[in-house]
Structure 1
């Protein structure tokens, strides 16, 4: 993958003021993309994220703060973003809540489905027709290993991620013949990360380290041995590099895939 290989392209990355989303935005910036950031953040957090993506090399960075739980807010977000051509859409925004199915609050179900699945439906249905007109478009949905296999106490999250993988395959089929090798075509794919180094997992690592009386590295290995055979987490930037490759024109025939980055979790 060459430097600035996406020069002149424009991307929207939802949930991109921290974690995997921010790493994706920075990686796209390094490839020459203008980036529309999105997330529920304080003004200081939003400014810091914008500055970091500009520093990565992005020629322009916008910030949007719409609440994806509301369909009307997703509509407003896309109207604002699609005022200019959009080449790349990365649906990364997501939330999680763990509880047994019988104990899961209905409001949590509604919020997780809205943000993790319904918002991606709306961004895709609004962005893909314009991508088809351009002859080039990339939709990369950040699903999860839980879009391929289930775990206990995660009913809405698993339901949303399985739904995201299925919806992505439908969209991939509908747009598979759009464009050409020369234009780059329109593709829709999912990336399904396993354990990834983000702030979300740090409390679990800390708890495991305290319970075992060991250091962080040993705690991580003990935590991962239950699911992830590599015993190594992924870094957000490693997920971001997969996103960038999927956006390359050379990836015009890679569509409808759910790519696990999970250290062998789903190979078992």
Structure 2
């Protein structure tokens, strides 16, 4: 069982979905959790949940990751709370539509939050991880970081970029630390269809369009891509992320790890 007692993890987009699933896994392992989401949100219930699960400490850091100045301010605030050992770049947005009709403002915003923000956070935190000999960057990419999909030009571009950024950073920090200290690794998790509010809305739309049950709508939606026809629970991603924090995983770096129900086995 992975023990994160004494480790501090910064999880972006941590109020719901994948981010919350990862934060829960880390809390059970005893980590201190620096939880990020948009400013002004009431995080009290989530922080209480993480504390009850066993987190060594919890704190909310509101920042709009589209704004570089807010990222810099958050980094300073988190540093005052504790040195970050684990960074989970989970916050992300997406908007579908044909390439020809994609507004430039949407393109810029998707890339800012999904790719530029992870870059800024990695740039700010990786040197400290390297100096301490242990660090983990876990970038939540997507299956669309490995394969394309019509109507997802900005999202797929950002997620492909995040996979590439993970590989470059992994190579640059590969020699940091040691087997004993745990080293510094950078990896990307690439989930398929995850049971999040976004996917739930897609299921509801498919159910209405087909006039079927929710279960039939899920199977119809997933069956076109994900052979298991089972959605992915955020807790599954949390379990994979937790394993990546183990010092024993020090040689797993620069990987783009599919968690996709067989999507990329096609």
TM bin (shorter chain): over 0.9
1:213 Cα shift? 2.4
Ranges in structure 2 where 5+ consecutive residues have no aligned partner: none
In the aligned structure 1, how far is the partner of 2:225 from the partner of 2:253?
27
Aligned mates of 1:62, 1:29 — CA distance in 2 = 12
Note the aligned Cα RMSD (angstroms).
1.0
Residue 85 of structure 1, CA deviation: 1.4
The residue aligned with 2:53 is: 56
* Deviations 1:191-232, CA, capped at 9 Å, x for gaps: 000001011111211122222222211111111111111111
- TM-score by structure 1 length? 0.96
Q: SS of the residue aligned with 2:197?
A: coil
Aligned to 1:114: 112
The match for 2:254 is 256
CA deviation digits over 1:51-97, x for unaligned, max 9?
A: 11112110210101111101111111112112321110000000011
Q: How many Å separate the matches in 1 of 2:71 and 2:151?
A: 28
TM-score by length of 2: 0.97
Aligned residue among 53, 68, 72 for 2:69: 72
Q: CA deviation at 1:42?
A: 4.6
Count of equivalent residues: 265
Query: How far apart in 2 are the matches of 1:212 and 1:153?
Result: 21
Deviations 1:99-128 (A, max 9, x none): 111111111111110000000000001100
Deviation at 1:43, TM superposition (A): 3.9
Q: Distance in 1 between matches of 2:140 and 2:47?
A: 21
Equivalences for residues 175-194 of structure 1 within 5 A: 175-194=173-192
